[in-house]
Amino acid sequence: MTNKFTQSTYHPICDELAKADADLAAIIKTYGYPPFWSRPNTFETLVHIILEQQVSLASALSALNKLKERLQELTPVHLLLLTDEEMRACYVSRQKTGYLRYLAEALVSGQLDLNRLEDLPDDVIRAKLVALKGIGNWTADVYLMFVLQHSDLFPIGDLAAVNALKRVKKLPVDVTREQMLEVAGKWQPYRTIATMLLWHYYLSAPKKGTLIV
């Protein structure tokens, strides 16, 4: 059974991580607990995550709000009615238009059922998601962490998490992916919550002169 965290267990897990890792303890001491980031298990949420791929959070949210404004209700059936021009008017690129249509078609056809994902193991959920064009490991990670609250993932493809890890752990610029995963491995079985502490640090800490990119 996959371990999950809840709003009631979130701070106790943060405290447990802090006891074992002085760097994580320093984040909480300086910036407080991270927000309890969560999203509902809906088509709209997956659309939002796809829109967030490789762009700023503000740009993604702007596109999502445009889609919602145009459709009133953002559902797979409604999205499939939009033309390429209408998608462009909602700030959705041609490539992501294709991704969103693949997702909508998978849900309409029954190829993907979001409710049925909730009780499956991480690897099965990931396989079902990445089988869809436009959904890779980063999107699957964010879905597992934010939507299903699975407690033990480190999204190695997330630049903010990786940059925060480098800063917090004072890792060399040429640190390898494998070395970073090894560092994150020490936070098992709560790598998701440790990542949320890293994101909290990334969003809260002064960046001038210290951000590794």
Q: pLDDT digit string (tens) for 5-43? A: 999 999 999 999 999 999 999 999 999 999 999 999 999
Residue 13 lies in a domain: yes
> What is the pLDDT at residue 152?
96
Position 125 pLDDT exceeds 50: yes
Mean pLDDT, residues 149-158 taken together: 96
Residue 86 — φ and ψ, nearest 5°? -65, -35
108, 127, 147: which is the final residue of a domain? 147
Instruction: Check whether residue 185 and residue 138 sit in a common domain.
Output: no
Question: For a pLDDT cut of 70, what percent of the chain falls above it?
Answer: 96
Q: What is the mean pLDDT of the chain?
A: 93
127, 147, 167: which is the final residue of a domain? 147
Question: For a pLDDT cut of 90, what percent of the chain falls above it?
Answer: 91
Instruction: Check whether residue 59 and residue 95 sit in a common domain.
Output: yes
Residue 122 lies in a domain: yes
Position 70 pLDDT exceeds 50: yes
Residue 213 lies in a domain: no
pLDDT tens string 167-208: 999 999 899 999 999 999 999 999 999 999 999 999 998 764
Position 212 pLDDT exceeds 70: no
Residue 192 lies in a domain: yes
Instruction: Check whether residue 98 and residue 24 sit in a common domain.
Output: no
Instruction: Check whether residue 130 and residue 49 sit in a common domain.
Output: yes
Q: Which residues form the domain of 30?
A: 7-36+152-204
Question: What's the CATH code of the domain at 108?
Answer: 1.10.340.30
Residue 209 lies in a domain: no
Instruction: Check whether residue 112 and residue 179 sit in a common domain.
Output: no
Identify the bridge partners of residue 150 per DSSP, sorted by sequence position: 4
> What is the pLDDT at residue 35?
96
Residue 210 lies in a domain: no
Residue 14 — φ and ψ, nearest 5°? -55, -45
Reported confidence tier of residue 106, pLDDT bands at 50, 70, 90: very high
This prediction has a pTM of 0.91
Question: What's the CATH code of the domain at 32?
Answer: 1.10.1670.40
Instruction: Check whether residue 48 and residue 104 sit in a common domain.
Output: yes
Which range has the worst mean pLDDT, 71-75, 91-95, 171-175, 206-210?
Answer: 206-210
Mean pLDDT, residues 143-153 taken together: 96
Instruction: Check whether residue 124 and residue 160 sit in a common domain.
Output: no
The residue whose two tokens read 């889609």 is 67
> What is the pLDDT at residue 119?
87
Identify the bridge partners of residue 4 per DSSP, sorted by sequence position: 150
Residue 100 — φ and ψ, nearest 5°? -65, -35
Instruction: Check whether residue 15 and residue 54 sit in a common domain.
Output: no
Total structural domains in the chain? 2
Give the count of beta carbons closer than 10 Å to the beta carbon of residue 179: 13
124, 147, 170: which is the final residue of a domain? 147
What 3 state SS string does the chain have?
CCCECCHHHHHHHHHHHHHHCHHHHHHHHHHCCCCCCCCCCCHHHHHHHHHCCCCCHHHHHHHHHHHHHHHCCCCHHHHHCCCHHHHHHCCCCHHHHHHHHHHHHHHHHCCCCHHHHCCCCHHHHHHHHHCCCCCCHHHHHHHHHHHCCECCCCCCCCHHHHHHHHHHCCCCCCCCHHHHHHHHHCCCCCHHHHHHHHHHHHHHCCCCCCCCC
> What is the pLDDT at residue 208?
44
What is the longest distance spanned by two Cα atoms in the chain? 54
Mean pLDDT, residues 73-91 taken together: 97
Residue 125 — φ and ψ, nearest 5°? -60, -45
List the Cα angle 158/133/176 in 5-degree steps.
Answer: 30
Instruction: Check whether residue 27 and residue 108 sit in a common domain.
Output: no
Position 210 pLDDT exceeds 60: no
Residue 1 lies in a domain: no
> What is the pLDDT at residue 206?
79
